[in-house]
Structure 1
Amino acid sequence: MKKKILFINFGGLGDEILFLPTIISTKKEFPDSEITLALEPRSKGILSLTDIIDETLFADIKGRNKYIELFNLLRRIWTKKFDIVISSGSNKFISIFLFMTFIKERIGYNSGRLSEKLLTHAVRLNKNQYAAKMYHDLVKPLTDNITELPEINIEPRKTEPDTVLIHPGVSLLSVKKGMIKTIPAEKWAEVVEKLADAGKKVVVAGGPDDKQVIETIERIVPCEKYLNMYGKTRNLKELAEMISSAEIFLCSDSAPLHVAAALGVKTYVIFGSTDDKKLIPDNGKVIPIKAKCDCPLRPCLWERRQTTCESLKCLNISAEEIVKTVLM
């Protein structure tokens, strides 16, 4: 009899990409299983990258009606008769929610004594590792399979020599919440121009969230110096195909970083307040670019605070430094 397995992973698109190895290893253990993923509507782009998910359940937990959304999700779960539920999230409420699903096998992180009583498997949370590995720890009670990196469902294109694909933007939601995770748009424009002057074929890409930074680049950099592909990709899969053809990918700490890591493309990432050791695999193909600052609190975002500070010393990186690193 095929198992019906529910995965719950609330977060941004990057979180969903990093969660893929967890789902993949489980599917390898139970190849006939039916996989359902509960996620936020803002992260539905993950569905263009994989065909391993049979069904989705959406809950807008960032909206005003968070608890109504969660209750409605619970009601839908009750009708599905799942055999196993696996959920990320270290909040103590998670174990209560999973217990209320009435699913027989409940797997989540150990958040204390209550989780040990309410979950059938309370997994030790180790945040001091690559996030994909942290999520993957959740399936250790079920399988010995290991999936190191996200596996995405695209046909890689032939690499175009000397091409640098730049995706400068970050999530607009993170910016609205006071989380600044990249350099100013004017500095991105400098990077584009300097790479072009160094003889690289520069391609700039982005989606709706990246409109402001792209418009700044368009205003500052002569159009003949780069290929503007802003708005030309309809979904994350098409962006992934574009990334696969680049010799070098340069981006901010955002979802496309995790796509590039999955594809094994040589990638350079601007990091400021977040911890690069938790967001990139230790395989030498993804290289962080960081400011030489002496801030004792760095990395602070998520570890010590929920918004970035006003000084942003951790993002004081010159265009020259970025270009020099990329051209090394």
Structure 2
Amino acid sequence: MKHPLPARPRHIAVLRLSALGDVCNLVPTLRALQRQWPDVRITWIIGKAEHSLLAGLSGVEFVVYDKSTGLAGMRQLWRELAGTRFDVLLHMQQALRASVLSLGLKADVRVGYDKARAKDAQHWFTHRQLEAHPHAHVLESFMDFARLLGVENLTPEWEMPVPNSAVEEASALTGDVPYLLMSPCANPRLRNFRNWSAEGYAAVSEHAWHQYGLKTVLSGGGSTQEREMGERIRSLTRQDIIIDVIGGTSLKGLLALIARAKGVVAPDSGPVHMANALGTPVVGLYATTNPDRAAPYRWRDFVVNRYPEAVRTYLHKEPEEITWGQRVRHPDAMSLIRTDDVIQRLDALLTRTSESQDREMPDEA
């Protein structure tokens, strides 16, 4: 017998700890829940860095779990929530760590992914599973939780908070110059292989300057890999068209930089989904991950997609022969992306957004 779902939940727990791009894609699900039940209380159990990005999200209470604290941190979180019982727990993190964390939370019903999408035996830790949804985008997978609860309006909305302090941080770095933002590196995890070439980024920066008068802001974390990438790009371009802020911003500051940018160019990483959430035009660079699953949702038509070619070249299979979401973990896969591909997508993107702005301008009296 299936556990019954609440007809009108009063208090919903959301368990999703990471990552930056994923939590951006989850926000529309919360907005859908809030539209359906304006008085619902939502408590989001979230990672430390992800909280620093989303702090201030309207109508959401955050409980932060720092995964570096391990079991001790879990116990502290369990103590913090010991007196709270949720009508429903939405278990949106497919990881054993998160499933163990969920055991210390009190909920009438626990909802997780269907077996096809669940990882690390997540379905063992939940009462109810989502309906099957083959080939779903990440954002749509999250929205399936709202759909299961009976939410009717599933239109994606974000309303991401960008505080004045972040706007001032961004303004101090860039002044009033128009710019293209590039975040050249994905998270420097083992065997990630999502980074494009410094030569490619440099050529796109030169094109943005000569064709549109846009400087390029380089963003990223402070890792050695990211700093070296920034230095390499600068060495290949005119120094006066690059503003290098790699390792020099807060996450909210980066959010403000993205909000002010004319466009964003980046591989599959947090910044493409941050741009998507803010409505900033973005060209995503995809070869090692499937853009049908993980592209910036509102800008999927402007992705540079070399994933099918990478699957054929490095996995020696057709895309339909592999599991949904399988990554191509080969260091040369991103080299399949050509500079002309990126420039063509960027031109199309900036032309479209310019035309849209022209249509929105009122006629002169």
TM-score by length of 1: 0.79
What is the CA–CA distance in structure 2 between the aligned matches of 1:254 and 1:284, rounded to whole Å? 14
Task: Work out which of the residue numbers 144, 147, 163 in structure 2 matches 1:137.
Answer: 144
Paired residues of 1:92 and 1:111 also in contact (CA < 8 A): no
What is the CA–CA distance in structure 1 between the aligned matches of 2:250 and 2:102, rounded to whole Å? 35
Amino acid at match of 2:111: I
1:190 matched to 2:178 = no
Paired residues of 2:183 and 2:266 also in contact (CA < 8 A): yes
Task: Work out which of the residue numbers 154, 158, 169 in structure 2 matches 1:150.
Answer: 158
1:253 matched to 2:261 = no
What is the CA–CA distance in structure 2 between the aligned matches of 1:212 and 1:161, rounded to whole Å? 25
Q: Which residue number corresponds to residue 295 of structure 2?
A: 280
Q: CA 1:127–1:185 in 2, change beyond 3 Å: closer, same or farther?
A: farther
What is the CA–CA distance in structure 1 between the aligned matches of 2:122 and 2:163, rounded to whole Å? 42
Q: Which residue number corresponds to residue 87 of structure 1?
A: 91
What is the CA–CA distance in structure 1 between the aligned matches of 2:221 and 2:190, rounded to whole Å? 17
Q: Which residue number corresponds to residue 347 of structure 2?
A: 327
Deviates more, 1:80-89 or 1:294-303: 294-303
Q: After superposition, give the CA deviation of every residue in 1:56-94 in whole Å (9 maximum; x if it has no partner).
A: 23141xx5x755554554444433333321111356897
Paired residues of 2:284 and 2:295 also in contact (CA < 8 A): no
Could you say what secondary structure the match of 2:148 adopts? Answer: coil
What is the CA–CA distance in structure 2 between the aligned matches of 1:257 and 1:178, rounded to whole Å? 20
How far does residue 251 in structure 1 lie from its aligned partner after superposition? Answer: 1.6
What is the CA–CA distance in structure 2 between the aligned matches of 1:72 and 1:203, rounded to whole Å? 44
What is the CA–CA distance in structure 2 between the aligned matches of 1:104 and 1:276, rounded to whole Å? 36
Q: Which residue number corresponds to residue 208 of structure 1?
A: 221
Structure 1 gap ranges (5+): none
Q: Which has the higher helix share?
A: 2
Paired residues of 2:113 and 2:123 also in contact (CA < 8 A): no
Structure 2 gap ranges (5+): 1-7, 168-175, 349-365
1:1-328 alignment runs, 5 A limit: 3-48=10-55, 50-60=57-67, 63=68, 66=70, 69-70=73-74, 72-90=76-94, 98=102, 101-111=105-115, 119-126=126-133, 128-142=135-149, 143-154=151-162, 163-171=179-187, 175-209=188-222, 210-230=226-246, 233-236=249-252, 238-280=253-295, 283-284=298-299, 287-291=302-306, 294-295=312-313, 296-297=316-317, 303-304=325-326, 308-310=329-331, 312-328=332-348
Amino acid at match of 1:78: A
Amino acid at match of 2:233: I
How far does residue 255 in structure 1 lie from its aligned partner after superposition? Answer: 1.0
Q: CA 1:78–1:260 in 2, change beyond 3 Å: closer, same or farther?
A: same
What is the CA–CA distance in structure 2 between the aligned matches of 1:53 and 1:47, rounded to whole Å? 10
Could you say what secondary structure the match of 1:37 adopts? Answer: strand
What is the CA–CA distance in structure 1 between the aligned matches of 2:127 and 2:31, rounded to whole Å? 21
What is the CA–CA distance in structure 1 between the aligned matches of 2:184 and 2:148, rounded to whole Å? 39
Percent of matched pairs sharing the same residue: 17
How far does residue 254 in structure 1 lie from its aligned partner after superposition? Answer: 1.0
TM-score by length of 2: 0.72
What is the CA–CA distance in structure 2 between the aligned matches of 1:49 and 1:280, rounded to whole Å? 25
What is the CA–CA distance in structure 2 between the aligned matches of 1:120 and 1:205, rounded to whole Å? 45
Amino acid at match of 1:196: W
What is the CA–CA distance in structure 2 between the aligned matches of 1:151 and 1:204, rounded to whole Å? 24
How far does residue 129 in structure 1 lie from its aligned partner after superposition? Answer: 1.9
Deviates more, 1:3-12 or 1:286-295: 286-295
Could you say what secondary structure the match of 1:189 adopts? Answer: helix
Amino acid at match of 1:46: L
How far does residue 187 in structure 1 lie from its aligned partner after superposition? Answer: 3.0
> Aligned residue pairs: how many?
316
What is the CA–CA distance in structure 1 between the aligned matches of 2:242 and 2:234, rounded to whole Å? 10
Q: CA 1:162–1:137 in 2, change beyond 3 Å: closer, same or farther?
A: same
Paired residues of 1:163 and 1:247 also in contact (CA < 8 A): yes
What is the CA–CA distance in structure 2 between the aligned matches of 1:95 and 1:219, rounded to whole Å? 46
What is the CA–CA distance in structure 2 between the aligned matches of 1:115 and 1:259, rounded to whole Å? 27
Could you say what secondary structure the match of 2:283 adopts? Answer: strand
Q: After superposition, give the CA deviation of every residue in 1:106-129 in whole Å (9 maximum; x if it has no partner).
A: 2222339x9889644321252512
Give the alignment's Cα RMSD to 1 decimal: 3.6
Could you say what secondary structure the match of 2:274 adopts? Answer: helix
What is the CA–CA distance in structure 2 between the aligned matches of 1:53 and 1:298, rounded to whole Å? 43
Q: CA 1:4–1:90 in 2, change beyond 3 Å: closer, same or farther?
A: same
